[in-house]
Amino acid sequence: VEFLRNLKLKCQDLDHDWKQRTKARGEELQAVSEAIAILTEDDARELFHKKMGTGGAASLLQEASSRTVEQHARQQAAALLMRAARSLQARQAPDFSDLTAAFRAGEDRPHEQLAVVAVQVQLDAFTKVKKAIDDMVAELKKQQEDEVKFKAYCTAELNDNEKVTYATNQTLQELKAKISSLADIIAKCEETIEEAKTEIKRMEVELKKASEIRKEENGNFQEEVMDQRAVQNILAKAIDRLRLVYKKKEALMQQDPNPPVQFQPYKQNAGASPVIGLMEQIVEDSKAVEKDTLAAEQEAQKAYASFVVDSDSSIKDLNAQIDERTKAKAAAEVEKEETEASKDNTETELDGLAQAAADLHKECDFVLLNFDIRQKARIQEIEALQGAKAFLSGMKDGN
């Protein structure tokens, strides 16, 4: 808001200054025209002739006729120059379509130069005026050529700046995309490393639990085997004792069946044989339980060993993955730092290109925007000067 307010005030001041300058130039041209008219009036011309003329009546008549032709040529040339000056100065709007506005403050204005030459035409000698016109035309042509070269220089420099700026911007976008990609890689590496560490901790806990369970299972196994073997031992002793009794009976039965003294027939417990059989069956069952327990223990130990091997292998793989991701992360971080440095340098380069473009625009924009207008104004100025010289040289009809 403050900038717009200041800009508006500045523009108002420029409009006011422009009106004052235009008014002053108009008054200057008007004064020059009136001065020329005064100097070329009949009374003034006769007075100049009287004070500066010499010789007899014939020479006076001849000189008067010569002076009349000369004065007519001067008037024709001056009028042509003044018309061209007024044409160049006529418009007053301070915009770039105005021929006179196409020249910066401080530069020679076309209408001002033509007005000066118009005065010289009226007052100075022809040779001096022609020399001045020739010099001015040569200078104007040189200005035309220089301005064409300057326009080519500005166009080439601005085009080069635009191309380099575009390429540098493309490079900057690529660097930014690379930085973003590297940041994603670093984040992914960190995530993978964290997940691997978490998995290793979980597996270590599982290994510890499995080891404790295996230890407890092995203790139960040892206890069970000892119990079964104790049962088997006890039962074996009992069976042996019973069998010893029944073996003695069989031995007695093989002796003389008619002893001298006889008792009533004695019958042993009829269930003795089934008891031995049952005890033997229990022993067999105990051995079977012991065998199954041993097999289960071996299977459990095998499973535990396999679990330990698999877990150790997985932990090893995870540690290798952590090492690999750590190295990849470090490499990505180094590359990211280098890329960020390149990005900073590229941004600095863009700032320099922007400043160079601003300087070029400051130097060139006025000429580029008003090139055709300035060229046209000089051509008109050259044509007016050449026309005035033609009048002075007698190359054109005075009418």
- Per the structure block, which two tokens stand in for 231? 């049962």
Sign of CA dihedral 42, 45, 51, 57: negative
With 60 as the cut, is the pLDDT of residue 265 above it? no
pLDDT tier at 71 (50, 70, 90 boundaries)?
A: low
**Residue ranges of the alpha helices (H) in the chain?**
2-39, 42-52, 57-89, 110-123, 126-253, 272-393
pTM: 0.53
With 50 as the cut, is the pLDDT of residue 100 above it? no
Q: Residue 233 to residues 238, 241, 280, 283: CA-CA distances in angstroms? A: 9, 12, 11, 9
Sign of CA dihedral 85, 88, 89, 90: positive
What are the tens digits of pLDDT across the range 40-64? Answer: 566 655 665 565 554 433 333 344 4
With 80 as the cut, is the pLDDT of residue 7 above it? no
Give DSSP secondary structure letters for 141-203: HHHHHHHHHHHHHHHHHHHHHHHHHHHHHHHHHHHHHHHHHHHHHHHHHHHHHHHHHHHHHHH
Q: Mean pLDDT, the chain, as a whole number?
A: 76
Of 16-20, 36-40, 350-354, the range with the lowest mean pLDDT is 36-40
What are the tens digits of pLDDT across the range 331-364? Answer: 999 999 999 999 999 999 999 999 999 999 999 9
Separation CA 268–CA 272 (nearest Å): 8
Average pLDDT over every residue of 164-183? 96
Q: Residue 252 to residues 91, 190, 231, 239, 266: CA-CA distances in angstroms? A: 164, 92, 32, 21, 12
Higher pLDDT, 90 or 238: 238
Sign of CA dihedral 300, 302, 308, 311: negative
**Residue ranges of the alpha helices (H) in 53-125?**
57-89, 110-123
Determine the pLDDT at residue 280.
Answer: 87
Q: What is the biggest distance separating any 2 CA atoms in the chain, rounded to whole angstroms?
A: 224
**3-state secondary structure (DSSP) of residue 107:** coil
Separation CA 112–CA 201 (nearest Å): 94
Determine the pLDDT at residue 26.
Answer: 64
DSSP 8-state class, residue 96? T
- Burial class for 258, CB neighbours closer than 10 Å (0-12, 13-18, 19+): exposed
Determine the pLDDT at residue 18.
Answer: 62
